[in-house]
């Protein structure tokens, strides 16, 4: 019989027992459950609700249960419904009446909210550490190739040349924002529901501040109904995971493209590639594809929780038991993706020559030629039309802009002078974009300084 079975005369069926149980999922929260119970017992003693010797005996018993779980020597029983019941039943079996006093002034409703918040805080910190490791890998690749030029794209068509390091830093900034989203999710989880009891508070003189302090919460949730029914913090975590995974999917899509024969910009390490069971020549970017694919499931976890929460009346409802599986999965999936992406980026080999060769194709100097004319007084829109004409000429001749003679240029506009030829040079085109956030080496160096400063600041708060 369940610990709550006093008013029941019949047992639930084996099926409904299994259907209603959350133990297979929430046993992952055993450490948080034991920490919460220990803090609660000590507070009960300090407030004179239970005897100190009972609190000591509870603390000792809980520590033994933790050891048994960690040694793999604790028999979880589905009849216990959830981790809270499992631990409490084992405690009572171990220490008797003292254990049966633990649940005084507490409900599983504030207990599960406490455990889940502690768990969410820890997972945010883990993800923040994995985020920082990937940013380091991106920064190191960028710094290893400070002068490598690649085509920059819009619509996946060659647009303007950019530094490879600039391209890598774009992802570093996305991840810098992801870190802040994870930090915000951690702040959202950082308030204690313990002491809210079932929904309305309790008649015992509990010290909620004391348990909040003991568990490292920044504050006490001021409304008992909100305390037991709020899952915004899990939505924040799931959203942070979704956005970060979406960013990884963009990075991984580029890795897939870059390692294709058509691009041939990078070679992935064998450790981050797989072969084909039928085609002996194949080297597939499976792990980049898999990270891209996992994004769907993480976003699914977010949507599932949002829909579970929609229209739930106050306060606790059993629907809330559905909150943990998706959030745990989203965090674990993102963590694995971050670790995998960091290894893949750190070990990929660049092919700078191929990048440069591609950057020369597709009239990437066209904007600069138009700028050349505009700087000599021609309205930019007219300059755009002149260069469009020159590109058409190149298309007809099957050549590139830097194959045209000075006469060809001057036939379109007498503003062209001999220096037009040097302004078509790839390095000059890149070096000219010196505004804040531009792709010139000097601007990228300043950007790198800022990205590393943000990295160091973030590392300090994990
Ligand atoms: N297993 C439950 C959950 O995960 C714990 C809280 C149960 N409370 C209740 N009144 N049935 O949400």
Q: What is the DSSP string of 25-48?
A: HHGGGHHHHHHHHHHHHHHHHHTT
Put residue 42 in one of left, alpha, beta given phi > 0 → left and psi -120 to 50 → alpha.
alpha
Burial of 462 (0-12, 13-18, 19+ CB in 10 A): middle
Burial of 6 (0-12, 13-18, 19+ CB in 10 A): exposed
Say how many Å lie between the CA of residue 97 and the centre of ligand 1.
Answer: 23
- CB–CB of 320/107 below 8 Å? no
CA distance 120 to 294: 20
Q: What is this structure's pTM?
A: 0.95
Determine whether the shortest distance from the Cβ of 108 to ligand 1 is under 6 A: yes
pLDDT higher than threshold 90 for residue 327? yes
Task: Tell me which residue of 265, 454, 223, 412 sits closest to 352, measured CA to CA.
Answer: 265
Give Cα 327 distance to the centre of its chain.
Answer: 12
Determine whether the shortest distance from the Cβ of 26 to ligand 1 is under 6 A: yes
Ligand 1 pocket: which of 5, 225, 318, 326 to mutate (most atoms <8 Å of CB)?
318
Phi, psi (rounded to 5 degrees) for 158: -55, 130
pLDDT higher than threshold 80 for residue 363? yes
Phi, psi (rounded to 5 degrees) for 321: -65, -20
- CB–CB of 320/312 below 8 Å? yes
Determine whether the shortest distance from the Cβ of 316 to ligand 1 is under 6 A: yes
Determine whether the shortest distance from the Cβ of 321 to ligand 1 is under 6 A: yes
**Residue having the nearest C-alpha atom to atom 12 of ligand 1:** 321
pLDDT higher than threshold 90 for residue 279? no
Cα-based distances in Å from 204 to 105, 138, 199, 217, 430: 6, 54, 14, 21, 70
Determine whether the shortest distance from the Cβ of 328 to ligand 1 is under 6 A: no
Say how many Å lie between the CA of residue 210 and the centre of ligand 1.
Answer: 24
CA distance 26 to 72: 16
Q: Identify the structural domains of the chain with CATH numbers, from first to last.
A: 11-104 (1.10.275.10), 112-204+228-358 (1.20.200.10), 365-431 (1.10.40.30)
Say how many Å lie between the CA of residue 11 and the centre of ligand 1.
Answer: 18
Pairing mode, if any, of strands 349-350 and 266-267? antiparallel
- CB–CB of 256/285 below 8 Å? yes
Say how many Å lie between the CA of residue 318 and the centre of ligand 1.
Answer: 6
pLDDT tens for each residue of 47-73: 999 999 999 999 999 999 999 999 999
Give residue 321's pLDDT. Answer: 98
Atom index in ligand 1 nearest the CA of residue 25 equals 4
**Residue having the nearest C-alpha atom to atom 2 of ligand 1:** 321
Give 82's contacts (C-beta < 8 A, 6+ positions apart): 21, 22, 23, 26, 108, 112, 321
Mean pLDDT of the chain: 96
Determine whether the shortest distance from the Cβ of 88 to ligand 1 is under 6 A: no
Determine whether the shortest distance from the Cβ of 110 to ligand 1 is under 6 A: no
- Alpha helix (H) ranges present in 77-163? 83-95, 97-100, 108-144
Helix and strand numbers (H, E) in the chain are 19, 6
pLDDT higher than threshold 80 for residue 383? yes
Give residue 12's pLDDT. Answer: 81
For residue 44, give both structure tokens. 């009960």
Ligand 1 pocket: which of 21, 109, 114, 319 to mutate (most atoms <8 Å of CB)?
109
Give 274's pLDDT tier (boundaries 50, 70, 90): confident
Give residue 323's pLDDT. Answer: 98
pLDDT higher than threshold 80 for residue 4? no
pLDDT tens for each residue of 98-114: 999 999 999 999 999 99
CA distance 158 to 458: 35
Atom index in ligand 1 nearest the CA of residue 22 equals 1
Catalytic residues: 155, 276
Atom index in ligand 1 nearest the CA of residue 116 equals 4
CA distance 132 to 176: 8
Say how many Å lie between the CA of residue 344 and the centre of ligand 1.
Answer: 41
Give percent of the chain above pLDDT 70: 100
**Lowest model confidence (mean pLDDT) among 4-13, 153-162, 324-333, 428-437:** 4-13
Give residue 276's pLDDT. Answer: 77
CA distance 380 to 391: 16
Taking residues 235-246, report their average pLDDT.
98
Atom index in ligand 1 nearest the CA of residue 81 equals 1
> Residue 219: beta bridge partners?
191
Atom index in ligand 1 nearest the CA of residue 82 equals 1
Task: Tell me which residue of 445, 373, 462 sits closest to 139, measured CA to CA.
Answer: 445
Side-chain-facing half-sphere of 406: CA atoms under 13 Å: 9
Give 305's contacts (C-beta < 8 A, 6+ positions apart): 231, 234, 235, 238, 322, 323, 326, 327
CB neighbourhood size of 393 (10 A): 16
Give residue 6's pLDDT. Answer: 80
pLDDT higher than threshold 90 for residue 369? yes
CA distance 263 to 242: 29
Determine whether the shortest distance from the Cβ of 22 to ligand 1 is under 6 A: yes
Helix (H, G, I), strand (E, B) or coil at 6: helix
């Amino acid at each position: 019989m369940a610990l709550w079975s006093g008013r029941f005369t019949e047992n639930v069926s084996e099926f409904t027992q299994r259907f209603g149980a959350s133990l297979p999922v929430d046993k992952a929260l055993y450490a948080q459950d034991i920490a919460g119970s220990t803090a609660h017992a000590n507070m009960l003693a300090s407030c004179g609700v239970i005897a100190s010797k009972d609190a000591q005996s509870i603390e000792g018993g809980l520590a033994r249960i933790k050891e048994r779980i960690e040694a793999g020597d604790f028999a979880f029983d589905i009849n216990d419904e959830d981790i809270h019941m499992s631990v409490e039943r084992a405690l009572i079996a171990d220490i008797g009446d003292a254990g049966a006093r633990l649940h005084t002034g507490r409900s599983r409703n504030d207990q599960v909210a406490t455990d889940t918040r502690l768990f969410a805080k820890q997972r945010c910190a883990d993800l923040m550490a994995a985020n920082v490791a990937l940013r380091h890998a991106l920064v190191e690749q960028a710094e290893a190739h400070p002068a490598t030029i690649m085509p920059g794209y819009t619509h996946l068509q060659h647009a303007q040349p950019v530094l490879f390091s600039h391209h890598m830093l774009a992802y570093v900034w996305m991840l810098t924002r992801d870190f802040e989203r994870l930090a915000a999710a951690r702040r959202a989880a950082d308030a204690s529901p313990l002491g809210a009891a079932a929904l309305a508070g309790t008649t015992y003189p509990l010290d909620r501040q004391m348990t909040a302090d003991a568990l490292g919460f920044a504050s006490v949730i001021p409304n008992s109904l909100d305390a037991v029914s709020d899952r915004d913090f899990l939505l924040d975590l799931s959203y942070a995971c979704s956005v970060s995974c979406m960013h990884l999917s963009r990075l991984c899509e580029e890795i897939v493209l870059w390692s294709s024969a058509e691009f041939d910009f990078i070679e992935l390490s064998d450790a981050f590639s797989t072969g084909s069971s039928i085609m002996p020549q194949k080297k597939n970017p499976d792990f980049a594809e898999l990270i891209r694919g996992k994004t769907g499931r993480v976003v699914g976890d977010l949507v599932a929780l949002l829909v579970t929460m929609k229209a739930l009346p106050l306060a606790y409802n059993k629907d809330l038991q559905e909150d943990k599986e998706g959030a745990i999965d989203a965090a674990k999936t993102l963590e694995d993706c971050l670790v995998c992406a960091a290894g893949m980026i750190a070990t990929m080999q660049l092919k700078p020559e191929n990048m440069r060769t591609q950057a020369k194709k597709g009239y990437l100097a066209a904007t600069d030629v138009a700028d050349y004319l505009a700087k000599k007084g021609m309205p930019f829109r007219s300059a755009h039309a002149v260069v469009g004409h020159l590109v058409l000429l190149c298309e007809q001749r099957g050549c590139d802009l830097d194959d045209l003679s000075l006469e060809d240029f001057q036939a379109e506009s007498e503003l062209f002078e001999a220096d037009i030829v040097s302004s078509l040079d790839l390095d000059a085109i890149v070096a000219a974009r010196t505004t804040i956030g531009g792709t010139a080496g000097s601007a990228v160096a300043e950007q790198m300084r800022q990205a590393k400063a943000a990295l160091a600041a973030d590392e300090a708060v994990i």
